[in-house]
Structure 1
Amino acid sequence: MGAIRPHDETKKNDACFRAGFLGSKIQEQPYSEQERELLASGVVKKLPVYDRILGSDKKSSSYDHVSGRKPQHIIEVERSTAHFEKLNQTPEHVREAAARIAEEYSLVNGRKSPTEEMSSRKWRIRSALRVLKRGPSYPVELASAESHFSHDVLYGSTERSTASILNEKGQKNPNESQLAPVSFQIQHREWSGQYRGQLITQTPASSAPDANVGERFTEKLTARSVSKIFSSAAYVSTCHEGFTTFLTLTFNKAQRLRIFGGMTDEYTTLSDERVGAHHPMRFRRNMITRKAGKNERKISAPVCDIAGPYTSIEIQDHAVEMNMNREIMGDYCLLSEKPKNAFTVEKTIETTIGKEVSRLLDGLKKMYQRGWIADHTIQVDEESNAQYCDLKRASVKPHCKAVATEFGPSFTKDDFHYIWVAECPANEDGEPNPHVHVLLKWTVEPHLFSAWAMRCEKIWGHGFAKLERIREPKAAGTYIIKAVGYAAKGDDASQGLVKGNRYSIAKCSRAPSWECIASFEANNITAIIKELGYKLEQWKKPLERSLNRLSYQKSQTIKAKAIAAKQPGTTEDKLKKMQSSIIRLEKQAQKVKQEMKSRQVHVSTENNFSISFDGQDAKQKVDDFLMWAAGARGWSMDCRDMDLSELKVEADELYQSDYVRFKDKRAYWQAVLCDSVPIEPDENEVNYWKSFTADYLEGKLTPMLH
């Protein structure tokens, strides 16, 4: 290194020379007796080299008066600290100017004490350290998505983009519709008098869903299923006087084994013969079907002989192949139609819940429409009012309904209404317990009930059947939903696994579907529905709080009554007062619920694709909603079925002021959202600019003109 650079220049390099890179500074300094002893003992060699460098700054607070020296790194730290304080020190004239302004104008607002500022700074530092130590723990799902999917965001997204079908590889499909894939339909349901606006998405032909294949297994009812059950129950209640009987069906052990895979055990008998524990099987040959000819009926008939010859050439005439004895072997069959497997294995006793319930309902329907004979009746003794069984037979007439024809009234078979839902939860032992809940529109006289129940249970033949009379036919839909333990939101998943159909509704009991009366372009209708849902929910908030309060008071009163009933010395009057209080709270809650439904408009922020209107004025409410949406919120009102341009102009003129107010409000909040965040100045910066103000007021500083 001396050959490359002179020694005096190398010595001036503080980074190498002071660190002892070119030789220990210890050898160049005079040492005290204590330091010499440490050097002789070898302890100093274990210390870092930098800590062994000593200086001679007598002004330092760590000056050693014995040796007259201190460590070099302490000197450098003190020197750097003094230099930093000098650079960040506020000038004296600035402090004086700030104090003078404070005295003249009393600028004391917003000042903070040093103690408070230091405590807040420590709190910020500690919170930051806690965050850094813990690491980011962001939630997987947002607690509320309203900040990202509010109605204001939907208004903005509609203005920026329009709905269209994305073409594959940039090529247009001439078979696709040129209209937008999303439309807003006004639908009507005549039997209930309801109207609704529904957003409909048309699935393009290129995105058709896959066909359902294989066996079906379900774990619970879907929201769509619950909606169909409620609609059908409401339809029967409105148009057919409602369901009147609630039936619960259970399965015995043998039938449960048949449902769960077609099994038997050693105690099961088939056709009076003990079969043992095995799986009864049947092998079915896979047949090839022959296509119908040009002048034949369009049916598929199996070929006479599966072993017939196969050919890869399609033959129009069904030629036959003969062997040496001139015997027909079979029709020619295409090789592509040859079955993959020659035989199919079938479980002869396997069944499903849906099959067994369908068999029962077929038998009950015949009884209902043809009539039946009761083998006994229940009579009441006139003297003792006791019931006794009369073994006389009684004939029950069939159920018929009058139908008007051109020749006069005629009688035909009455409709058989039913709804059934199956479930298979686990029992106390963890075993599956399948059972079925059925709603029927069928009642009998009290003296025929016993014979009717025995006849129904005999037709079922698989276990116990329980019959109950529904006291409120108009609320029959809630019976079956509560029976299967299913909440409207679908959170309860304890219904068990069921193979095949999980529920079924009679054709005559199905509610007629909604009928479309007008179709519009969607435009910004989703944002409008979202805004109305938010307003309706805000209006319902006080009523919901009142309803929750009444529900809590009712539950507490019921608990207090139960406790008081068990305590000795409680009078009957006190219990009656508690019961009257419970009844009063129920009536108040019912009144609040009626008030919540008084608007007769159903819309929610969770579903911005539908809005419905009830009541006698439903049609007028739909018209008002469309006019308000077109005029006050800028909806296009572009109808696909008719020209409504005149109504659009009328709506714009009627709600012009409301639309201008709506646009101004949106523009204001957009400006607030896009405005930059204000930066809070520190104390030194405030004092600096206050000094400029003081100098300007005293005439020492002139403003700069640009």
Structure 2
Amino acid sequence: MEQKDLLYIMGSIRPHDEIKRNDACFRAGFLGSKIQEQPYSAQEMQLLESGLVKSLPVYDRFLNRKEKHIAEIERATDYFAKLNKTPKYIHEVAARIAGEYSLVQGRKSPTKINKPEMAKKVSENIEYSSPETYFNHDSLYLGAEQSTAAVLNEKGRRNACEPKIVPISMQLMHREWNETYKFQAITQTPSSSAPEVNTGERFTEKLTSRSVSQIFEAAAYTSTCHEGFTTFLTLTFDKDQRLAIFGGMTDGEASKTMGAHHPIQYKRNMVTKTAKANEKKVMDPICNIAGPYSTIPSDENPYPRVLNRNGEIAGEYCSLEFKPKKEFTLEKTLETTMGKEVSRFLDSAKKLYHRGWTADHSIQIDKESDVKYCDLKRVKVGGHTKPSDFGPTQELSDFHYIWVAESPANEAGESNPHVHILLRWQVEPPLFSAWAKRLEKIWGHGFAKLERIRKPQAAGSYIIKAVGYAAKGQNADQGLIKGNRYNISKCSRAPAWECIASFDADNMTAIIKELGYKLEQWKRPIKKQVEKIHKQKAQTIVAKSIAKKQNKPEDVLKKLQSRIIRLEKQAEKLNKTMKSRGVHVSSENKFCITFEGESAKEQIDKFIFWAAGARGWPMNCRDLDLSDVKNEADVFYQDSFIRFQDKRAYWKAILQDRKPIYERDVNEVSDCWAAYIDYTQQQSMLM
């Protein structure tokens, strides 16, 4: 029984104050045992079970202390409040600046608001139209001033095994192949929060944003350092291969001609032979199962016992404790994945690329009539090796590729698996038909379509558009796929970022978000012009298609085509203007800012110097001593930093200032009443 229940029951015959004064029976546990409600220690529980406490008075049974979990919560709360407590001088400075910049210096009738009304207004649920109303750069600045990041355990104490550094750091990274610098926030995962190990089969429904960025980077790296991809290849799957991909099945007609080969087999699970420290592991299974007499060492039996000296019985036996739970495993011989089939095709294509091949025909043009015809002469095409200053070498050249798989549903609702591949491999136009025929034969599972890429520089965006995946990360029903969804050759992967220096984060996320707002404001009018141009281009394309259907003259079609080309060049010019800043930062991503171009090194130096001086970033470097640079930045941007603080305090005072209530003049009230009387009289006359 709780106290509120007692007050409810006894309230009908006695006042509440008398019940509270005379509730000795309730507090002593007469109406309900209090001992079981208190979490006692092991020693106290032993005393209670032994019966020693029964001989003591009732009021000595209770220790009058707080519960253990409540005491731990209060201790942790006090620790965090002490750690994140705002210094007193910050409140004093904010109050002084708010008074100086207040919009209402003196009111004729100061408004009094009762405390219950204020509490009621604050407790109401407020629904914001956008998360930016709260998670803006000003709130990030305030959070950096009031809190300190640290790795703590559940009880508010730092683990002894954790490093004595702030878990969030800003790392200055450099990429040499395109001279790009990046300032990115990195979170150090505590050792107690290690990620779980990936087990089981892998299924994916779409490309992740990280996968898209890796594809773009690989395409940009290949374009910059290896002249880009030149061929776009699409591979499809026939009916039998689709059944093998989706569950290792086979068609009823095909199963009749399989003969002794069955699509299902059973594999016996057995323990493999263990190897010594300096021996190579042997994977032969041990098929014999025995009891305690085993030559396989274990924790319980490190030195196995043999039955006789000749070793006749002491064979390769598996102890019963190591016996697998399942004796047999079901295997589908026909089951495969899209990744396995693409890997097989690329391995064969790579050998063809290095060794060379023979074209069984070529497409020639008749010199007299300019008509194409098929020449059935066989043509030998050599392999590819790395060139040198003295001619070809024996070293094989790199085989660049990127492939992405998808399996969207068709109009009938069936899965349509296919693969898009980018290759850096091209042949002469007369041999293109024979080359496509040879690659389709290597694939052997359906139709293969080859296309020349006109702009190798834009190959990355070409494959992303082909799989229906926008750059912003929106999915276009790519289908469920088992195994790998994409892959990039080792030679085509962009080199990793190199970390130059590491800094404490502090308020750097707020600085990046502020710059993201400013850059978006600068880009907004340019983006509006680009959108307008795209609309005009779409209208022109529709007008051209209508003109074709109406059999308009050729001059009209050429004018429309020239307008489309002109609009494309205008949009491309505006996009180059936006990229000319050499800075990539967004208000949606407050953890990274990137500088690219020839002046990237100068821009990153200016940014760090400005952030340290004009925004108060402490610039605590973990690798170098940059205190002299910090002092120089503080002196150089002293006036700018003071203006920044005053502006923040000014807008904060405006947001916190209550709306003034002005007293109305007697003449103003009389004028309002006169206007109201005139209006009512006119309405009555109209009625």
Whether 1:621 aligns to 2:578 is no
CA distance in 1, matches of 2:157, 2:643: 44
Whether 1:346 aligns to 2:331 is yes
Change in Cα spacing, 1:167 to 1:356, as seen in structure 2 (3 Å) is: same
Alignment of 1:480-519 (within 5 A): 480-519=463-502
Alignment of 1:224-303 (within 5 A): 224-268=210-254, 273=258, 280-297=263-280, 299-303=281-285
1:254 match: secondary structure: helix
Q: How large is the RMSD of aligned CA atoms in angstroms?
A: 2.8
Match of 2:198 among 193, 212, 216: 212
Change in Cα spacing, 1:544 to 1:254, as seen in structure 2 (3 Å) is: same
Whether 1:376 aligns to 2:361 is yes
1:267 match: secondary structure: helix
CA drift at 1:273: 3.1
CA drift at 1:156: 0.4
What residue in structure 1 maps to residue 504 of structure 2? 521
One-letter amino acid of the structure 1 residue matched with residue 642 of structure 2: V
What residue in structure 2 maps to residue 33 of structure 1? none
CA drift at 1:369: 1.3
1:236 match: secondary structure: helix
What residue in structure 1 maps to residue 63 of structure 2? none
What residue in structure 1 maps to residue 427 of structure 2? 444
1:282 match: secondary structure: strand
Whether 1:554 aligns to 2:537 is yes
One-letter amino acid of the structure 1 residue matched with residue 451 of structure 2: E
Change in Cα spacing, 1:576 to 1:375, as seen in structure 2 (3 Å) is: closer
1:179 match: secondary structure: coil
What residue in structure 2 maps to residue 392 of structure 1? 377
What residue in structure 1 maps to residue 562 of structure 2? 580
1:187 match: secondary structure: strand
CA drift at 1:661: 0.6
One-letter amino acid of the structure 1 residue matched with residue 364 of structure 2: Q
Change in Cα spacing, 1:238 to 1:643, as seen in structure 2 (3 Å) is: same
Give percent identity, aligned residues only: 60
CA drift at 1:321: 5.5
Q: Is the 8 A contact 2:290 2:320 kept in 1?
A: no
CA drift at 1:537: 0.6
What residue in structure 2 maps to residue 647 of structure 1? 629
Whether 1:184 aligns to 2:170 is yes
CA distance in 2, matches of 1:363, 1:232: 22
One-letter amino acid of the structure 2 residue matched with residue 294 of structure 1: A
Change in Cα spacing, 1:517 to 1:306, as seen in structure 2 (3 Å) is: farther
One-letter amino acid of the structure 1 residue matched with residue 150 of structure 2: S
Whether 1:418 aligns to 2:404 is no
Q: Is the 8 A contact 1:268 1:275 kept in 2?
A: no
Change in Cα spacing, 1:680 to 1:391, as seen in structure 2 (3 Å) is: same
CA drift at 1:317: 4.5
Q: Deviations over 1:203-226 (max 9, x none)?
A: 111111111111111111111111
CA distance in 2, matches of 1:203, 1:255: 43
Q: Is the 8 A contact 2:183 2:593 kept in 1?
A: yes
CA distance in 1, matches of 2:299, 2:649: 74
Change in Cα spacing, 1:322 to 1:426, as seen in structure 2 (3 Å) is: farther
CA distance in 1, matches of 2:345, 2:186: 39
Q: Deviations over 1:373-403 (max 9, x none)?
A: 2233333334444333333332221110046
Whether 1:594 aligns to 2:576 is yes
Q: Is the 8 A contact 1:403 1:412 kept in 2?
A: no
1:516 match: secondary structure: strand
Change in Cα spacing, 1:415 to 1:269, as seen in structure 2 (3 Å) is: farther
One-letter amino acid of the structure 2 residue matched with residue 549 of structure 1: K
CA distance in 2, matches of 1:558, 1:411: 51
CA distance in 2, matches of 1:565, 1:390: 36
What is the TM-score of this pair, normalised by structure 1?
0.72
Match of 2:417 among 421, 431, 434: 434
Structure 1 window deviating more from structure 2 (414-423 vs 574-583): it is 574-583
What residue in structure 2 maps to residue 474 of structure 1? 457
Whether 1:674 aligns to 2:650 is no
1:146 match: secondary structure: helix
1:273 match: secondary structure: coil
Q: Is the 8 A contact 1:379 1:388 kept in 2?
A: yes
Structure 1 window deviating more from structure 2 (416-425 vs 590-599): it is 590-599
Q: Deviations over 1:165-186 (max 9, x none)?
A: 1224455433211111100001
Q: Is the 8 A contact 1:304 1:330 kept in 2?
A: no
What residue in structure 1 maps to residue 349 of structure 2? 364
1:301 match: secondary structure: coil
What residue in structure 2 maps to residue 119 of structure 1? none
CA distance in 2, matches of 1:450, 1:231: 31
CA drift at 1:471: 1.1
CA distance in 2, matches of 1:660, 1:288: 73
Q: Is the 8 A contact 1:632 1:655 kept in 2?
A: yes
CA drift at 1:448: 2.2
Which ranges of structure 1 fall in alignment gaps of 5 or more residues? 1-135, 689-706
CA distance in 2, matches of 1:202, 1:462: 47
Q: Is the 8 A contact 1:189 1:513 kept in 2?
A: yes
Change in Cα spacing, 1:551 to 1:381, as seen in structure 2 (3 Å) is: closer
CA distance in 1, matches of 2:367, 2:556: 40
One-letter amino acid of the structure 1 residue matched with residue 248 of structure 2: G
Change in Cα spacing, 1:574 to 1:170, as seen in structure 2 (3 Å) is: closer
Q: Is the 8 A contact 2:152 2:159 kept in 1?
A: no
CA drift at 1:154: 0.5
2:631 match: secondary structure: helix
CA drift at 1:334: 5.2
What residue in structure 2 maps to residue 19 of structure 1? none
CA distance in 2, matches of 1:378, 1:546: 46
Q: Is the 8 A contact 2:289 2:319 kept in 1?
A: no
CA distance in 1, matches of 2:583, 2:445: 47
Which ranges of structure 2 fall in alignment gaps of 5 or more residues? 1-123, 671-687
What residue in structure 1 maps to residue 182 of structure 2? 196
One-letter amino acid of the structure 2 residue matched with residue 462 of structure 1: H
1:607 match: secondary structure: coil
Q: Deviations over 1:537-593 (max 9, x none)?
A: 11111111222222222222333333344446x544444333333333222222221
Q: Is the 8 A contact 1:266 1:274 kept in 2?
A: no
CA distance in 1, matches of 2:360, 2:560: 49
Structure 1 window deviating more from structure 2 (334-343 vs 500-509): it is 334-343
CA distance in 1, matches of 2:553, 2:285: 87
CA distance in 2, matches of 1:264, 1:321: 51
The structure that has the greater radius of gyration is 1
Match of 2:594 among 591, 612, 617: 612
What is the TM-score of this pair, normalised by structure 2?
0.74
Change in Cα spacing, 1:227 to 1:598, as seen in structure 2 (3 Å) is: same
Q: Deviations over 1:118-166 (max 9, x none)?
A: xxxxxxxxxxxxxxxxxx9986xx5421110111110000000011112
1:639 match: secondary structure: coil
Match of 1:457 among 440, 452, 458: 440
Change in Cα spacing, 1:367 to 1:563, as seen in structure 2 (3 Å) is: closer
Q: Deviations over 1:480-527 (max 9, x none)?
A: 111111111222341111111010111111111111001000010000
What residue in structure 2 maps to residue 157 of structure 1? 143
2:479 match: secondary structure: coil
Change in Cα spacing, 1:344 to 1:684, as seen in structure 2 (3 Å) is: farther
CA distance in 2, matches of 1:443, 1:169: 64
CA drift at 1:296: 2.2
